Amino acid sequence: MSRLAAFLFRTPGEAGVFRRMANENFRRYRSQYAIAIVCLLFSAGATAYSAWLMGPIVKDVFYGNDMNRALVLAATVAGIFLVKGIVTYFQSVILSKIGNSLVANYQRRLFDHMLRLGVDFFSRQHSVDLISRLNQNVIAVRDLLNTVVLGFVRDLVTLLGLIFVMFYRDPYMSLAVFVIGPIALIAIAGYARRVKRIAREEVKITAQVATSMQEAAHGIEVVKAMTMEDQMRAKLNMLTVEAEKRSNQIARITARSSPLMETLAGFAVAGVIAYGGYRVINHGYAPSDLTSFMTALLLAYEPAKRLARMRVSLERSLVNARMIYEVLDTPIRQADKGDAKPLDLKAGTILFDKVSFHYETNAQNEAQSVLTNLSFEALAGQTTALVGPSGGGKSTIIALLQRFYDPASGTITIDGQDLTGLQVASVRSAIAYVSQQPILFQGTVIENLRYARPEATDAEIEEACRAAQAHDFIMQLAEGYDTLLGENGANLSGGQRQRLSIARAIVRNAPILLLDEATSALDNESEAQVQQALDTLMQGRTSIVVAHRLSTIEKADRIVVIDKGRAVDAGTHDELMKAGGIYARLQSVAGGKGLPGPSKRRKRTAKAG
Task: Identify which has the larger pLDDT, 585 or 374.
Answer: 374
Decide if 517 contacts 598 (C-beta within 8 A).
Answer: yes
Q: Look at the chain and count its residues.
A: 609
What's the CA dihedral at 221, 604, 552, 458 to 10 degrees? 70
- pLDDT at 592 (0 to 100): 47
Same domain membership, residue 168 and residue 311:
yes
Same domain membership, residue 293 and residue 385:
no
Decide if 419 contacts 609 (C-beta within 8 A).
Answer: no
* 176 closest CA partner among 279, 307, 255: 279
Decide if 411 contacts 353 (C-beta within 8 A).
Answer: yes
Is there a domain that residue 524 lies in? no
Q: Which residues pair with 514 in a beta bridge?
A: 433, 544
φ/ψ (deg, to 5) at 91: -65, -35
* 142 closest CA partner among 81, 200, 98, 78: 98
Q: What is the mean pLDDT of residues 411-419?
A: 94
- pLDDT at 457 (0 to 100): 92
- pLDDT at 236 (0 to 100): 78
- pLDDT at 606 (0 to 100): 44
Mark out the alpha helices in 219-286 (DSSP H runs). Answer: 220-225, 229-255, 257-283
378 pLDDT above the threshold of 80: yes
List b or e across 559-597, with b for residues whose CB sees 16 or more CB atoms inside 10 angstroms: bbbbbebbbebbbebeebeeeeebbeebbeeeeeebbee
- pLDDT at 597 (0 to 100): 47
- pLDDT at 1 (0 to 100): 54
Decide if 345 contacts 356 (C-beta within 8 A).
Answer: no
Decide if 377 contacts 393 (C-beta within 8 A).
Answer: no
Q: How confident is the model at residue 527 (pLDDT cuts 50, 70, 90)?
A: confident
Helix-helix angle 287-328:138-149, to 10 degrees:
150
Task: Identify which has the larger pLDDT, 513 or 121.
Answer: 513
Provide DSSP, 358-420. Answer: EEE-STT--EEEEEEEEEEEE-TTSEEEEE-STTSSHHHHHHHHTTSS--SEEEEEETTEEGG
Query: What does DSSP assign to residue 477?
Result: S
Q: Which residues pair with 374 in a beta bridge?
A: 355
Is there a domain that residue 568 lies in? yes
* 19 closest CA partner among 33, 6, 28: 6
- pLDDT at 576 (0 to 100): 87
Task: Identify which has the larger pLDDT, 219 or 332.
Answer: 332
Same domain membership, residue 490 and residue 464:
yes
Provide, for the chain, the percentages of residues in helix, strand and coil under a 3-state DSSP scheme, each rounded to the nearest 5: 65, 10, 25
364 pLDDT above the threshold of 60: no
CA distance 474 to 484: 11
φ/ψ (deg, to 5) at 365: 60, 30
Query: Rg for the chain (alpha carbons), in Å?
Result: 35
Tell me the pLDDT of the chain averaged across its residues: 80
Same domain membership, residue 189 and residue 128:
yes
- pLDDT at 580 (0 to 100): 82
Q: How confident is the model at residue 379 (pLDDT cuts 50, 70, 90)?
A: very high
Is there a domain that residue 527 lies in? no
Q: How confident is the model at residue 329 (pLDDT cuts 50, 70, 90)?
A: confident
Is there a domain that residue 522 lies in? no
- pLDDT at 270 (0 to 100): 78
Last residue of a domain, one of 476, 509, 542: 509
The number of C-alpha atoms within 13 Å of 486 and in the hemisphere containing its C-beta is: 12
Is there a domain that residue 400 lies in? yes
598 pLDDT above the threshold of 50: no
56 pLDDT above the threshold of 80: yes
End-to-end, the C-alpha distance of the chain in Å comes to 40
Q: How confident is the model at residue 599 (pLDDT cuts 50, 70, 90)?
A: very low
Last residue of a domain, one of 509, 524, 556: 509
List b or e across 159-175, with b for residues whose CB sees 16 or more CB atoms inside 10 angstroms: bebbbebbbebbeebbe
- pLDDT at 121 (0 to 100): 80
Q: What is the mean pLDDT of residues 59-79?
A: 83
Decide if 507 contacts 456 (C-beta within 8 A).
Answer: yes
The winner for highest mean pLDDT among 74-78, 142-146, 256-260, 580-584 is 74-78
- pLDDT at 550 (0 to 100): 61
CA distance 547 to 390: 11
Decide if 506 contacts 533 (C-beta within 8 A).
Answer: yes
Same domain membership, residue 363 and residue 322:
no
Question: Which tens digits make up the pLDDT trace of 175-219?
Answer: 776 766 566 556 655 655 666 566 666 666 776 777 777 667 666
The number of C-alpha atoms within 13 Å of 61 and in the hemisphere containing its C-beta is: 14
CATH number at residue 47: 1.20.1560.10
3-state secondary structure 406-468: CCCEEEEEECCEEHHHECHHHHHCCEEEECCCCCCCCCEHHHHHHCCCCCCCHHHHHHHHHHC
Decide if 188 contacts 257 (C-beta within 8 A).
Answer: yes
Q: How many domains does the chain have?
A: 3
Is there a domain that residue 525 lies in? no
562 pLDDT above the threshold of 60: yes
What's the CA dihedral at 78, 80, 81, 84 to 10 degrees? 160
Residue 385's contacts (CB-CB under 8 Å, 6 or more residues apart) are 544, 545, 546, 547, 552, 553, 556, 558, 559, 560
Question: Residue 61 sits in which domain range?
Answer: 2-328
422 pLDDT above the threshold of 80: yes
* 173 closest CA partner among 297, 329, 339: 297
Q: How confident is the model at residue 363 (pLDDT cuts 50, 70, 90)?
A: very low
CA distance 51 to 48: 5
Is there a domain that residue 425 lies in? yes
CATH number at residue 448: 3.40.50.300
CA distance 446 to 503: 11
Q: How far is CA 219 from CA 53, 224, 226, 413, 484, in A?
A: 68, 9, 11, 40, 21
80: enclosing H helix or E strand: helix 67-116
Query: How many Cβ atoms from other residues are within 10 Å of residue 340's Cβ?
Result: 15
Residue 134's contacts (CB-CB under 8 Å, 6 or more residues apart) are 107, 110, 111
Task: Identify which has the larger pLDDT, 240 or 221.
Answer: 240
Query: What does DSSP assign to residue 490?
Result: T
Q: What is the mean pLDDT of residues 358-364?
A: 61
Same domain membership, residue 485 and residue 418:
no
Task: Identify which has the larger pLDDT, 479 or 606.
Answer: 479
Same domain membership, residue 368 and residue 322:
no
544 pLDDT above the threshold of 90: yes
Q: What is the mean pLDDT of residues 82-104?
A: 89
* 351 closest CA partner among 134, 544, 489, 599: 544
Hey, is 605 helix, strand or coil? strand
Q: How far is CA 17 from CA 34, 139, 191, 317, 545, in A?
A: 23, 15, 21, 11, 48
Q: How confident is the model at residue 603 (pLDDT cuts 50, 70, 90)?
A: very low
Where is average pLDDT lowest: 471-485, 491-505, 515-529, 544-558? 515-529
- pLDDT at 374 (0 to 100): 93
Task: Identify which has the larger pLDDT, 119 or 446.
Answer: 446
Same domain membership, residue 468 and residue 421:
no
Q: What is the mean pLDDT of residues 290-309?
A: 82
The winner for highest mean pLDDT among 47-61, 79-93, 433-447 is 79-93
Task: Identify which has the larger pLDDT, 199 or 142.
Answer: 142
Same domain membership, residue 368 and residue 264:
no
Q: How far is CA 535 from CA 387, 465, 539, 597, in A?
A: 18, 15, 7, 21
Is there a domain that residue 49 lies in? yes
Where is average pLDDT lowest: 292-301, 409-418, 440-449, 484-493? 484-493
Same domain membership, residue 422 and residue 299:
no
The alpha carbon of residue 384 and the mean position of all alpha carbons in its chain are separated, in whole angstroms, by 39
Same domain membership, residue 196 and residue 107:
yes
Phi-psi region of 430 (alpha: psi -120 to 50; beta: other; left: phi over 0): alpha
Same domain membership, residue 146 and residue 7:
yes
Last residue of a domain, one of 328, 359, 387: 328
* 11 closest CA partner among 302, 283, 315: 315
pTM metric for this prediction: 0.71
* 154 closest CA partner among 76, 95, 81, 79: 95
607 pLDDT above the threshold of 60: no
48 pLDDT above the threshold of 70: yes
- pLDDT at 240 (0 to 100): 81
